[in-house]
């Protein structure tokens, strides 16, 4: 669930800048100039926030509720930055006030830099939000946003004093933000976070029904993670130049690391067809806050298809004597698609506090809230809900639960989208 601490931090930064800018405007500013320059500064602060979130630093996960939520805010901040920049561009005066020295206040190169930055920002945002563009093509083009950031810094740092005073109170805020943003940009674009990656060797590649299980053994240190977390996987070798996030399906404490990947696109198909034991893999993580251990004693785990993986890790790690009452609802198209179903049933029988509820759509059984009302032993509002699966399914169930009076704080989802 999205945590508000990080949102408050971004909103607070923007408000502080706006208040300082409006309270201490340059003497020569008219209301229009003051307002539109403020909007430009807000756009830059939102861009900076978006870049900082792309570093994947663990310290921010608690602020936002996990890396998946950080990327949601990253996208939203980028969209609002572009919209605010557009208003700034069309609203800011294009001519100098009368009596101002045009040589001392020349808009070159500030004007061209700002226009280029805005053009690339809009193009980059379109590419970032276009789901039809394949990930392999989207990933390198998204790095163009780093160029946009440089152009915007150049734009306001070379702006004439009649529009922007660099050493005013609000100007200093933007300069500090630029310094922090540049450090974050270099960190994320040039892969400095790769230093935290752990090396693994591929032990097995197991073909399942519409999915592939990759088993890794550590070359050195084992990854320390909690059930429900995910990691970024990068296969070494020619032709393997992409990094992809996958939920860890093994349990903490195992001597092997397991990822179960649904065959969705070119990369996961290549994993299934070409990946061989003995290959080298870099794993970075863990990330995520999809943690059921601190929720209430009565829980509903709802998995749709490959969304089973975080719950698989949780079940594999549970010890006998766990005092929670858990119903794992496992929705799949047909029984043969329900990977690890027998293991789930055996594990539930062993633990004693877990009930497995398989639902197959080809038999007319769907994960629906009205069915939960009938089949669950207690009222819906007495459970905590953890859901992972196709977005339409999760969104629909969440909406129905809310309409039944279930509190938003009782509903936990994993927003596994990173573009």
Residue at 293 is within a domain? no
pLDDT at 109: 87
257, 176: one domain: no
Calpha distance 111→103 (Å, rounded): 14
Burial state string for 159-192 with b = 16 or more CB within 10 A and e = fewer than 16? bbebbbbeebebbebbeebbeebbebbebbeeee
- Please report which confidence band the pLDDT of residue 413 belongs to, taking 50, 70 and 90 as the band edges: confident
pLDDT at 166 over 90: no
Residue at 47 is within a domain? yes
pLDDT at 73: 92
The distance between the two most distant Cα atoms of the chain, rounded to a whole number of Å, is: 85
264, 385: one domain: no
Among 234, 264, 287, give the residue marking a domain's end.
287
Calpha distance 271→204 (Å, rounded): 11
80, 152: one domain: yes
173, 265: one domain: no
Among 287, 311, 332, give the residue marking a domain's end.
287
Per-residue pLDDT, averaged over 315-334, amounts to 90
Residue at 100 is within a domain? yes
15, 54: one domain: yes
327, 359: one domain: yes
Q: What is the 3-state secondary structure (H, E, C) of 205-216?
A: EEEECCEEEEEE
Residue at 275 is within a domain? yes
DSSP string, 290-335: ---TTS-SEEEEEEEGGGGHHHHHHHHH--TT---EEEEEEEESSG
Residue 261 sits in a domain of what CATH number?
2.40.30.10
Residue 366 sits in a domain of what CATH number?
3.40.50.80
Residue at 309 is within a domain? yes
Q: Give just the sign of the alpha carbon dihedral 105, 107, 113, 118.
A: positive
Residue at 352 is within a domain? yes
What are the tens digits of pLDDT across the range 43-83? Answer: 999 999 999 998 888 888 889 988 888 988 998 998 899 99
320, 409: one domain: yes
Relative orientation angle of helices 110-129 and 135-142, to the nearest 10 degrees = 160
Could you tell me how many helices (H) and strands (E) the chain has, helices first? 13, 11
Peptide bond between residue 109 and the one before it cis (omega within 30 degrees of 0): yes
What are the tens digits of pLDDT across the range 214-244? Answer: 999 999 899 999 999 999 999 988 878 778 8
67, 182: one domain: yes
Q: What are phi and psi of 268, to 5 degrees?
A: -70, -30
Calpha distance 131→265 (Å, rounded): 13
Per-residue pLDDT, averaged over 265-286, amounts to 88
pLDDT at 102: 67
Calpha distance 82→80 (Å, rounded): 5
Among 192, 224, 256, give the residue marking a domain's end.
192
Percent of the chain predicted with pLDDT > 90 = 40
What are the tens digits of pLDDT across the range 356-375? Answer: 988 888 887 787 888 788 77
Between 245 and 195, residue with greater pLDDT: 245
Q: How many domains does the chain have?
A: 3
Per-residue pLDDT, averaged over 79-103, amounts to 80
Residue at 280 is within a domain? yes
Q: What are phi and psi of 233, to 5 degrees?
A: -110, 130
Burial class (CB within 10 angstroms; exposed 0-12, middle 13-18, buried 19+) of 387:
buried
- The domain containing residue 251 runs over which residues? 197-287
Calpha distance 113→118 (Å, rounded): 9
pLDDT at 141 over 80: no
Residue 107 sits in a domain of what CATH number?
1.20.120
Q: What are phi and psi of 291, to 5 degrees?
A: -115, 120
pLDDT at 106 over 70: no
139, 281: one domain: no
Among 316, 213, 224, 303, smallest CA distance to 259 is for 213
130, 230: one domain: no
Calpha distance 134→60 (Å, rounded): 28
Q: What are phi and psi of 217, to 5 degrees?
A: -115, 140
pLDDT at 54: 87
CA geometry: angle 75, 308, 68, nearest 5 deg: 15
188, 269: one domain: no
Residue at 112 is within a domain? yes
pLDDT at 281 over 80: yes
């Amino acid at each position: 669930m999205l945590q508000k601490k990080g949102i408050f931090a971004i909103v607070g930064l923007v408000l502080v800048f706006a208040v300082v800018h409006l309270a201490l405007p340059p003497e020569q500013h008219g209301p229009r100039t003051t307002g539109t320059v403020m909007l430009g500064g807000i756009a830059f602060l939102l861009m900076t926030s978006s870049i900082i979130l792309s570093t994947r630093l663990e310290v921010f996960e608690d602020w936002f509720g996990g890396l998946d939520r950080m990327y949601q805010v990253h996208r939203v901040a980028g969209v609002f930055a572009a919209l605010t920049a557009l208003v700034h561009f069309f609203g800011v005066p294009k001519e100098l006030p009368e009596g101002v020295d045009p040589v001392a206040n020349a808009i070159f190169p500030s004007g061209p830099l700002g226009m280029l930055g805005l053009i690339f920002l809009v193009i980059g945002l379109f590419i970032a939000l276009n789901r039809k563009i394949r990930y392999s093509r989207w990933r390198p083009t998204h790095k163009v946003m780093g160029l946009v950031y440089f152009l915007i810094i150049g734009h306001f740092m070379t702006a004439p004093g009649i529009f922007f005073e660099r050493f005013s109170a609000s100007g200093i805020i933007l300069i500090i933000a630029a310094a922090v943003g540049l450090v974050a940009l270099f960190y994320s674009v040039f892969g400095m976070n790769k230093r935290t990656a752990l090396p693994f060797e591929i032990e097995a590649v197991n073909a399942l029904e519409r999915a592939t299980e990759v088993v890794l053994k550590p070359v050195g240190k084992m990854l320390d993670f909690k059930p429900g977390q995910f990691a970024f996987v990068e296969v070494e070798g020619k032709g393997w130049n992409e990094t992809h996030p996958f939920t860890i399906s093994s349990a903490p404490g195992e001597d092997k690391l397991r990822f179960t990947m649904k065959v969705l696109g070119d990369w996961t198909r290549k994993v299934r067809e070409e990946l061989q034991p003995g290959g080298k893999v870099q794993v970075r993580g863990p990330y995520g806050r999809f943690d059921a251990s601190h929720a209430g004693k009565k829980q509903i785990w709802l998995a749709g298809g490959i969304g089973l993986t975080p719950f698989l890790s949780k079940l594999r790690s549970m010890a006998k004597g766990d005092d929670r009452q858990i119903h794992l609802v496992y929705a799949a198209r047909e029984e043969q698609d329900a990977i690890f179903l027998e293991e789930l049933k055996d594990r539930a029988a062993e633990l004693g506090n877990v009930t497995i509820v398989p639902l197959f759509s080809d038999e007319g059984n769907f994960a629906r809230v009205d069915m939960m009302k009938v089949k669950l032993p207690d009222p819906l509002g007495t459970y905590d809900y953890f859901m992972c699966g196709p977005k339409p399914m999760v969104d629909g169930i969440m909406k129905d639960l809310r309409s039944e009076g279930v509190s938003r704080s009782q509903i936990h989802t994993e927003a596994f989208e990173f573009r």
